[in-house]
Amino acid sequence: MPELPEVEVSRLGVSPHLIGNTIERIIVRERRMRWPIPDEVATAQGHKVIAVKRRAKYLLIETSVGTLVMHLGMSGKLRVIDANTPVIKHDHVDIVLDTGKCLRFNDPRRFGAVLWQAPNEALPLMQNLGPEPLTDAFDDKRLFTLSRNRKSPVKNFIMDNAIVVGVGNIYANEALFLAGIDPRRQAGNISAARYKALTARIKQVLAKAIEQGGTTLKDFAQTDGKPGYFAQHLNVYGRAGEPCEVCEKEIQSKVIGQRNTFFCTHCQR
């Protein structure tokens, strides 16, 4: 599943092609996505894109009359292409621009979304979200305070979007390894000092992934069609049975919160 860095890379890739240009029409070939695509998305037709933002894993294409809210789901891809490019299987939505280009959304599994947010309204699914991880609003004091008396594993805790948004499975594994924290430990049993280290590592791995173009996943590529490059630098994710690059002990795996979890029992405690 594309995570926050992949969505941010997509935002950076599509923004120059969208901002300042007018949406001529929106072509919906398949409305049956994670949620049915509402007719209101057509409201954006005839209006300029004034900003392209991201909130958690949602891409926000803003106009003066409202915002197109997009989510890549499990397998969604965005491409900026010529509007007359032949349609292929799973090309569900085109946002056609007055430049002759279009933003095409392809999603084989249809777990993605294209929704409409009217001005001064907030979609229910975007309410109660925690702070963005790369902002000052997310800090170690927040993690430590909210973790008290929590018995759930720390990995589940930092993946909770009410605590902080966008720390998906890959980057939770990596940040916990770099902070030396066992992902199975109860969130409430971790000290303030260790949460300070974890906060720094979360920011580090996400920023590095964005800088290097997003993690190479089988269902993700950048808007120019090139894959990201961060995957070759992963320390533990997907490396069960392989030697830890620090201590050479075998990387372990365990399902925590229905997600595959990877860790080193020697380096993480």
Residues taking part in catalysis: 2-3, 57, 259
DSSP alpha helix (H) spans, 54-181: 140-147, 154-158, 169-179
Residue by residue, DSSP assigns 210-243 as HHTT----TT---TTS---SGGGG-SSTT-TTSB
Residue 169, CA distances (Å) to 2, 176, 236, 257, 262 in order: 10, 11, 12, 10, 10
CA distance 51 to 67: 9
Are 209 and 223 in contact, with CB atoms under 8 Å apart? no
Taking each helix axis as running N to C, give the angle between helix 192-211 and helix 140-147, from 0 to 180 degrees, rounded to the nearest 10. Answer: 130
